Structure 1
Amino acid sequence: MHARPSPATLGVALLIAALLALFLILPVGTVVLTAFDDGAGGFTLSHFTGFFGQSLLRESFANSLAVSLLSVLFASLIAVPLAYFTVRFQFRGAILIQTLGVLPLIMPPFVGAVALQLIFGTNGSVNLLLDEWLGWRLPLMQGLTGVVFVESIHYFPFILMNLTVALRNIDGAMEESALNLGARGWRLFRRVIFPLAMPGFLAGAALVFIKVFDDLGTPLVLGTTNMLAPQAYLRITSIGINDPLGYVIAFIMIGFSILALWLSARAMRDRDYSTAQKGGASLQRRRLSPGQALLAYGWIGLVLLVVLSPHLGLLLLSFARVWSFSVLPDAFTLQHYGTVMEDAAGMVGNTLLYCGLAAFLDVALGVAIAYLMLRTRLAGRQWLDFAASAALAIPGVVLAIGYLRFFRGAKIPFTEIYLTQTWVLIMIAYAVRRLPYALRSCVAALQQISLSLEEAAQSLGATRARTIRRVVLPLMAGGILAGFVSSFITAAVELSATLLLTTAESQAPMSYGIYLYMQSVSGRGPGAALGVLAVLLVAAGTFASHWMLERGTANERADALAADPAAPIAPALPSAAAPAVQPKPILSSEPAE
Structure 2
Amino acid sequence: MTSSTVNSPVLLAQPRTWRLPGGLGAWLAGLIIFAFLALFLLAPVGSVIYTAFVTEEGRLTLGHFANFFGQSLFRESFVNSMLVAVFSVVFASLIAIPLAYLTVRFEFRGALVIQTLGILPLIMPPFVGAVALQLIFGRSGSVNLLLDQWFGFTIPVMEGLGGIIFVESLHYFPFILLNLVASLRNIDGAMEESAQNLGCTGFRLFRRVIFPLAMPGFLAGASLVFVKVFDDLGTPLVMGTTNMLAPQAYLRITSVGVDDPLGYVISVIMIAFSILAMWLAARVMKGRDYSTLQKGGNSIQRRKLTAWQSAIAYFWIGLVLVVVLSPHLGILLMSFAKVWSFSVLPDAFTLQHYATVFSDSSRMIHNTLLYCGLAAGLDVVIGTAIAYLILRTRLPARQWLDWASSIALAIPGLVLAIGYLRIFKGMAVPFSDTPITATWVLIMIAYAVRRLPYALRSCYAALQQVHISLEESAQSLGANRLSTIRRIVVPLMAGGILAGFVTSFITAAVELSATIMLTTTESNAPMSYGIYLYMQSVSGRGPGSALGVIAVVVVAVGTYLSHWVAERSNARTAARHED
TM-score by length of 2: 0.96
Aligned residues of 2:196 and 2:205 also touching (Cα < 8 A): yes
CA distance in 1, matches of 2:186, 2:226: 24
CA distance in 2, matches of 1:498, 1:315: 24
Q: Name the residue aligned to 1:161.
A: 178
Q: Name the residue aligned to 1:452.
A: 469
2:438 aligned with 1:421: yes
Aligned pairs (5 A) from 1:7-406: 7-278=24-295, 281-406=298-423
RMSD after superposition: 1.0
Q: Deviations over 1:337-379 (max 9, x none)?
A: 0000000000000001100100000000000000011111111
CA distance in 1, matches of 2:399, 2:108: 43
Deviation at 1:293, TM superposition (A): 1.0
Residue range with higher mean Cα deviation, 271-280 or 371-380: 271-280
Return 5+ residue gaps in structure 1 as ranges: 565-593
Deviation at 1:448, TM superposition (A): 1.1
Structure 2 counterpart of 1:442, from 459, 462, 466: 459
SS at match of 1:267: helix
SS at match of 1:37: coil
CA distance in 1, matches of 2:87, 2:404: 30
Residue range with higher mean Cα deviation, 525-534 or 135-144: 135-144
SS at match of 2:107: coil
Work out the percentage of aligned pairs sharing the same amino acid: 72
CA distance in 2, matches of 1:487, 1:399: 17
Q: Name the residue aligned to 2:532.
A: 515
Deviation at 1:557, TM superposition (A): 4.9
Deviation at 1:17, TM superposition (A): 0.4
Deviation at 1:185, TM superposition (A): 1.0
Q: How many residues align?
A: 562
TM-score by length of 1: 0.94
Aligned residues of 2:132 and 2:327 also touching (Cα < 8 A): yes
| Cα 1:71/1:282, change in 2 over 3 Å | closer
Return 5+ residue gaps in structure 2 as ranges: 1-17
Q: Deviations over 1:47-67 (max 9, x none)?
A: 000000110000000000000
Aligned residues of 1:169 and 1:280 also touching (Cα < 8 A): no
Aligned pairs (5 A) from 1:405-416: 405-416=422-433
Q: Deviations over 1:262-311 (max 9, x none)?
A: 00000000000001111554433111111111111110000000000000
Aligned residues of 2:499 and 2:565 also touching (Cα < 8 A): no
CA distance in 1, matches of 2:534, 2:388: 44
Structure 2 counterpart of 1:535, from 519, 541, 552: 552
CA distance in 1, matches of 2:165, 2:341: 24
Q: Deviations over 1:398-434 (max 9, x none)?
A: 0000000010011111111110010110000000000
CA distance in 2, matches of 1:277, 1:228: 46
Aligned residues of 1:167 and 1:279 also touching (Cα < 8 A): no
Aligned residues of 1:163 and 1:204 also touching (Cα < 8 A): yes
Structure 1 counterpart of 2:478, from 461, 468, 472: 461
Q: Name the residue aligned to 1:476.
A: 493
CA distance in 2, matches of 1:56, 1:279: 53
Aligned residues of 1:168 and 1:280 also touching (Cα < 8 A): no
Aligned residues of 2:236 and 2:247 also touching (Cα < 8 A): yes
Q: Give the residue type in structure 2 aligned to 1:172.
A: G
Q: Deviations over 1:309-333 (max 9, x none)?
A: 0000000000000000000000000
Deviation at 1:99, TM superposition (A): 0.2
Aligned residues of 2:129 and 2:328 also touching (Cα < 8 A): yes
SS at match of 1:547: helix
SS at match of 2:338: strand
Q: Name the residue aligned to 1:581.
A: none
Q: Deviations over 1:72-130 (max 9, x none)?
A: 00000000000000001112110000000000000000000000000000000000000
SS at match of 2:304: coil
Q: Give the residue type in structure 1 aligned to 2:390.
A: M
Q: Name the residue aligned to 1:568.
A: none
Q: Give the residue type in structure 2 aligned to 1:159.
A: I
Q: Give the residue type in structure 1 aligned to 2:434.
A: I
Aligned residues of 1:172 and 1:279 also touching (Cα < 8 A): no
Q: Name the residue aligned to 2:516.
A: 499
Aligned residues of 2:371 and 2:443 also touching (Cα < 8 A): yes
Q: Name the residue aligned to 1:584.
A: none
CA distance in 2, matches of 1:292, 1:279: 27
SS at match of 1:193: helix
Deviation at 1:553, TM superposition (A): 3.8
Residue range with higher mean Cα deviation, 253-262 or 452-461: 452-461
